[in-house]
Every structure is written in C-alpha cells, then in structure tokens.
Structure 1
Amino acid sequence: MATRRSFLAGLAALTLPMPSWADVGAPACLAAGKQGERFVLHGLSAAGQSLFAIDLPGRGHAAAAHPQRPLAVAFARRPGTFALVLDCLDGSVRHRLSPSEGRQFNGHGVFSADGRTLFTSEVVAEGSAGRIGIWDTDGFRRIGEWASGGIGPHDLKRRDDGSLIVANGGIATDPTDRSKLNIDSMRPNLTHLTADGHIAQLAELPPELSRNSIRHLALGRDGRVAFAMQWEGDPAEVVPLLGLWQPGQAPVLCPPRPAEAMRMRGYAGSIAMAANGLIAITSPRGGVVMIHDADGAHLATHARADICGAAPDGDGFLLTDGSGVMWSGDQTGLRLLSKDGPAWDNHLVALA
C-alpha cells in the first residue's frame, strides 16, 4: 500500500503546474542592493515595486534569471566568492556554486533559452585568462568550460540562435586585491561563441583604444550588440564609451560631442537597449545617463548622482541609483518611480 501511495503521489506531482515568474508577481527585473547592513537581491516591477527581497552573504553584482522558473543566480562582486541559486518563491538557497580550482566567478551569467544550461563568466585566477563555465541546471552540476577568447571576461549575453557574445575586458587583475596588472598591454575584445563553444569571431578595438575595457553588453532584436566601455588611459583624453557591433562585421564606435563625453568621466557602468533601438549608458562616476538613437547618435544626457542600473522597458528604460531611487527614462527625461529602496548596486537584469 505504501508503494502505491508513493506512486500516486509521484503522479500527482507530475500533474502540478511548474512554478513560474508569475507566481512571484512577474517582476520586470532583478537588482542587488544594500539596506543598512543587509545585502539583498530584489525582484522589481516595472512600476518600481519590490516584489521580493532575498538576503545575500555579501555585496551582489549581477544576476541571471531562469527563463521559465522563478530561480535566480546571484553573483558576487568580482573576484567572485559566491554564486547562489535562489528560489524566489520562498527565498531559499537551492545551490551554492563553486568554480573549478583556480577559477573565479567574474560577476555575470546567463541561462540557455530552455533553462537547462547556465553559462558563467569566469577567469583563471592567475593571469585572468577568460573562461565560460558550463552548468547543467538539473542539480546545477558543472559539466565543462570554454575559452572566452580573451582576458578578463565580464558580461555575456545569449543570442536567439543559442550562441554567446562575451565582453572580454582585457584587464588582468591580481586574484586577491583586484589590482590591475597589464594596463600597458590590454587587448579588450568582443567574442562571438557558437552554441557549441567555438569562436566564430573575435573583434578588437583599434590600437589607440586598447585601454578601453569592454565591460557590458545589450542585445537588440535585430541581432546587433551594443557595448559599454571603461577607459583605463589618461583621464584627460576624450574617448567613445559606446560601440555597436553586428557579428560578422567590424565594431563601430559612437563618440558623443566632447563636452558630453567628459561628463561620463571615462566610465560607463551599465547599458540597455529599448525595443525601439534607443540605447542608454550610465555613469555612476559622472552622475549621468546618456540616451542614444539606434545608430549610436547622442540624443540627451540626464544628470542624477550615482545612477548606474539600466534595463529596457518598452521604448524606454528603468534606471536605479545608489540612493535607493528607481526611475523610468528616455530621451525626454527621468521620471520618479519609487524611492526609499536599498542603495542599488550596478545592474538591473531584465527578465524578458
């Protein structure tokens, strides 16, 4: 009888609907922050409402959202000391991920379209050679790794065909204190990895911009890649911090007017691309968000202290700053959505 009951219980479990993001309020994005002495990961609605908050063991950076189930992988600020698989229904830690020996997580990850695989941005601790960790999400077992195509990979995005775009920042760092070791010999690049891990294309910047570390990515519906950079050269130099790339072609850099470029202080913290092709890049150092059209032409600059997080929201953007405020924005300006949140960290991760 016990065996029959177990069998029937198993059948009943199979008929139960799998939990989805709708079961936690259908958040628009995920964001890490600090509230008092607590580090947390929030699920946020497009109206700026916090739908859930889950404690983290330290400062978070970015997160990866499962495409169907209410699971999020929260990554530590690099060099990564934790990557936690969080159940956003009950706040529990489902799994604690550890990179292979001699590897460190590097702040970002992304799921495959079917949710069966997680890809993580990693470096070999000694030398910062890039790796993409591969994890089977049935138990979150590590099943392999690919070369990222460069030094110091940070952000990575999945294209509709299952291939990956990787932002290799080009900076080798000390594995303990993050000090930069190779500024004079940096070679940042964009790498297009096929769905089975082969390098389809590697695109580098011109030699005079070799100190422009490629850090963050946004993908358009047409397959274009928008990328944001951080300048490691002379602070007095004015360089483009936004670029566009269609794999198979050469990258195109998008310099704004020098006076506008100076407001970024050589640092783009996040990037997002709206449904209509508008592009936002933020600079917490400069306290500005820049809006560009689909071709990379500068449209507007809006000032807000410590603004950094950016995610698409229809034809505009959701934005967060370090004082706990969330905004909506486009080329016409910023509009307050919510305040009194945590000190938001660098990124807003869109779920759609």
Structure 2
Amino acid sequence: MTTRRGFLAGLAAAASFPRPTWADAGSPAYLAAAQVPDGSYRLFGLTAAGERLFDLPLPDRGHAAAAHPTRPEAVAFARRPGTFALVIDCATGTEKARLESPEGRHFYGHGAFSSDGHTLFTPENDYEAGQGVIGVWDTRADYTRIDEFPSGGVGPHDARLMPDHETLVVANGGIDTHPDSGRTKLNIPLMEPNLTYVTLDGRILEQVELDRALHKNSIRHLAVSPDGQVAFAMQWQGDVADNPPLVGLHRRGEAARLLIAPDEAHRRMEGYAGSVALSGGVVAITSPRGGLAQRFDAETGAFLGQHASADVCGVSAAGTGFALTTGTGLVEGIDADRTAWQARHDCRWDNHLVAI
C-alpha cells in the first residue's frame, strides 16, 4: 500500500526528473516542411546556418508547423484544406498525437500555442457555415479538443499569439472554400478580409478591415514584433495588373498602414506575398512567383531593397537580417541585400520557415 510519505516522495522525484527541451533535439533554430526526391514529405529541423539537424516523415504535404514553447515538440499541419495535423517529438522522431479536424472543418496549415504551451489554437474553416473558427486543444491531455470560437471572419489562414500572452491576432483571409471544390475560391466578389484580435477564450477585441477597393486583397500570413506591431502579407485575388500593396503594418488602436515598393520592383511580385517576417525594425515579404524578397522599414514604411532568389517563399528573422527558403532547396541568410550564408539541400522547401 502506498503511504502518504511515499506518494509525496514520488511527486518530488517526478518534479526533479529533467524535462525534455529543444536542446534534446539539437537546439534547432527553424522548422520547415519539404518534399524530398522520392516524392515523400518530411519535417526538417535546421540550425541557424540552415544545416539539417533532423528530418522526420509526414504522411502528406505539409505547410507550416507550430513549435511548442518549451518541449521539443512540433505540430505539423497539412496544406489547406487538410484535415490532419501531427504532433511530433522532435527529439525521438516519434508521433505523439494526431489531430483530426471535426466533421465539417478543415485546417489552414497554421497554429499557435499559448505562452505556457498548455493550449494549441488552430485556424479552421466551418465550411458548411462559410465561417472561420479557432479550435482549442489541450496539450496536457494528448491534444484533446476542448473548445472552439469564431475567428471573426471567413478563411482564417494564420493566427499568432500577441506579446501580452492573452490575445490572438487572426488573419481572416476572406476567401470561402469547400472540400467538395478543392482549393477553388468560391466568393471572390464578396470577399471581406480582416485582422481580428481575440482573447484566448474567444472575445473579439478589435477588427481591422481594408478599404473596399482592396477587398480582394486576402490577408494571409502574420508576424508579430515583441512590442506588439503586427505585419501582414496579402495575396491579390483580382487582376494582377491592378498592383495593390502586398504588406501592411498594424498596432492596436491605430489604422493599418500599407507599404509598397517602387513600381517596377512591386510589379515583379506578381500580386503575391507568400510569407512575412519582422526583424530589428524591418519587415520582409517574399514572392515565389516573382523570385524576390523585399524589405521595408517597419516604422517609416520606406522601401529598403530586395533580394532575388528563385522560388523564394519561406522567411524568418535571423539575427539582424532574415533567413529564406526556396523551392530549389536553398536556405540562405541575408543581411540588408547581401547574402550572408547559404546551405543547399536535396529537397523542395514548402511555403514557410518557422522560428523556434
């Protein structure tokens, strides 16, 4: 029979047992999904110089991953309109859990953890209602789904935790889709993209919409600075000749600011920003269609320059500059418009490079 003293001793022993950290997985700086030469898909852990630390199998094409804030654990999401996400122990390479979206829902390829790592939030499509929801999963109970709440719009593609640790910012892209139609966009004339700030229990605090003339500019991806500035990347669903801005900045309680490169540089983006990152007061966006990464001053909005790289899409902060990934297998660091380092891999990187 267990005594009270023995029970307490067991608790003390459990508490003293070292918990796994990202160091147990080699202390990766980034996560990225990729397709490898045999046609299969992998989730890679990369060093700060773009070198491979590990690669783990995925059952299908990935999009982005969410990194647990303390444990060496990643949630790898299927590409929209996927219905699965895998929880991978990056130290052992084992699958810890598999998330399946509820009936009538699909994931958008992104997710965000609470600051303590106890909760995962997943942007999802309620495709019968044509509305976005945020799924809520308890990570301490094998990622059991415990709740959901409205995202504040249609097509919530991305969500990020704000520095207050109490708020999510959601990129409601405005595009309605349905699995019966694959990736077909069903409501382009009626799109209403927005940024929504919502508490972790689902209370909407603030919403920001674009001017009506820009209602086809789908807000897709997000980056958040430590002081709460939000950068958002957009993808134009109208005539590419219209050349609308592709990146915006926002602070709570203020109007959004839209940034645009000089004419020729902007036209080369072909109406598509694939990813966005903030680093040291600079915001960067990428365009795989244009083969460019462009940089802007995050305070003044001034265009700072661009870096050409074929099929570039993934971007993340890297020291005073940025790290980029491409569909040609390149990982490179840029400081200003100078290439600081490069690493090449025999794979096709998917859309995003996730900093840990």
Q: How far apart are residue 3 of structure 1 and its match?
A: 9.8
Partner in structure 2 of residue 43 of structure 1: 45
Q: Does the aligned pair in 1 maintain the 2:84–2:101 contact within 8 Å?
A: no
1:1-352 pair list within 5 angstroms:
12-36=13-37, 37-138=39-140, 139-161=142-164, 162-176=166-180, 177-274=182-279, 276-295=280-299, 296-351=301-356
Deviations 1:234-280 (A, max 9, x none): 11111100101111111111122121110100000000000x11111
How far is 1:12 from its partner? 4.0
Q: Which runs of 4+ in 1 moved over 3 A?
A: 1-4, 6-14
Match of 2:327, as an amino acid?
A: G
1:10 Cα offset (Å): 6.8
Bigger mean CA deviation after superposition, 211-220 or 95-104:
95-104
In the aligned structure 1, how far is the partner of 2:13 from the partner of 2:329?
44
Q: What SS is found at the alignment partner of 1:260?
A: helix
Q: Which runs of 5+ in 1 are unaligned?
A: none
User: What's the offset of the Cα at 1:297?
Assistant: 1.6
Structure 2 length as normaliser, TM-score?
Answer: 0.94
Q: Is the 8 A contact 2:306 2:337 kept in 1?
A: no
Separation in 1, partners of 2:10, 2:36: 42
Equivalent residue pairs, number: 349
Q: Is 1:278–1:315's contact at 8 Å kept on the other side of the alignment?
A: no
Kindly indicate whether the alpha-carbon contact (under 8 Å) linking 2:83 and 2:105 is maintained by their aligned counterparts in 1. Answer: no
Could you tell me whether the CA contact under 8 Å between 1:187 and 1:204 is conserved in 2? yes
SS state at 2:213 partner = helix
Aligned residues of 2:49 and 2:341 also touching (Cα < 8 A):
no
C-alpha RMSD over aligned residues: 1.7
User: Cα distance, 1:51 vs. partner?
Assistant: 1.0
Contact 1:126–1:175 (8 Å) recurs in 2: no
Q: Distance in 2 between the 1:266 and 1:127 partners?
A: 29
Relative to the length of structure 1, the TM-score reads: 0.95
8 Å Cα contact 2:233/2:248 also seen in 1:
yes
SS at structure 1 position matched to 2:176: coil
**Partners of 2:156 and 2:257 in 1: how far apart?**
20
| Distance (Å, rounded) in 1 between the aligned partners of 2:3 and 2:148 | 42
Indicate the larger mover: 158-167 or 332-341: 332-341
Question: What is the rounded CA distance, in whole Å, between the counterparts of 1:142 and 1:152 in structure 2?
Answer: 20
Contact 1:107 1:154 survives alignment (8 Å): yes
